[in-house]
């Protein structure tokens, strides 16, 4: 009997390749003026999203999960004096993002889904005048 050590089979799609695909899918959502695959220094547009890679999770499980990449999609909508319009615009964008990214995106990933509740926290002082949503996304790469 031979004793063998094994780890997960590494996926072909990298963190950056999945990030690029995620940014492209989010950029197609109506209402967004820009989507960045990185954290921006400041908000300048009326609507924008920044996507940031936050974790890489190598794993070996009975269901075949070899790797997962976690991202935060940070959506900002400028209030411009009309709080109700900003809230509706933010909700429309968030409602558009989930169907755009959820599920398989061959050949880059086999699944994409939320791993935490979407949050709409108060904006920090440096983003005063913006309405914000944070979407927590897990991608299972191929």
pLDDT tens track for 33-78: 999 988 776 778 999 999 999 988 876 545 556 788 999 999 999 9
Check pLDDT > 90 for residue 95: yes
Tell which phi-psi region holds residue 92, choosing left (phi > 0), alpha (psi between -120 and 50) or beta. Answer: alpha
Instruction: Please report the pLDDT score of residue 3 as a whole number.
Output: 45
The CATH number for 15-141, chosen from 3.40.640.10, 1.10.1040.10, 2.170.190.11, 3.30.2000.30, is 3.30.2000.30
User: Which of 54, 69, 49, 50 lies closest to 110 in space, CA to CA?
Assistant: 69
* pLDDT above 90: percentage of residues in the chain: 51
Determine the average pLDDT of the residues in 73-87: 93
Domain ranges of the chain: 15-141
């Amino acid at each position: 009997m031979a004793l063998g050590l094994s780890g997960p089979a590494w996926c072909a799609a990298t963190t950056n390749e999945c990030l690029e695909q995620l940014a492209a899918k989010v950029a197609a959502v109506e209402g967004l003026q820009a989507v960045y695959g990185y954290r921006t220094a400041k908000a300048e547009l009326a609507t924008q999203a920044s996507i940031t890679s936050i974790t890489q999770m190598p794993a070996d499980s009975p269901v075949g999960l070899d790797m997962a990449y976690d991202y935060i999609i940070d959506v900002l909508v400028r209030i411009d004096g009309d709080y109700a319009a900003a809230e509706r615009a933010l909700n429309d964008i968030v409602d558009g993002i989930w169907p755009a990214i959820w599920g398989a995106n061959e050949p880059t990933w086999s699944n994409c889904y939320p791993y935490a509740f979407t949050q709409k926290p108060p904006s920090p002082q440096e983003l005063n005048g913006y309405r914000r949503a944070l979407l927590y996304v897990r991608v299972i790469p191929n």
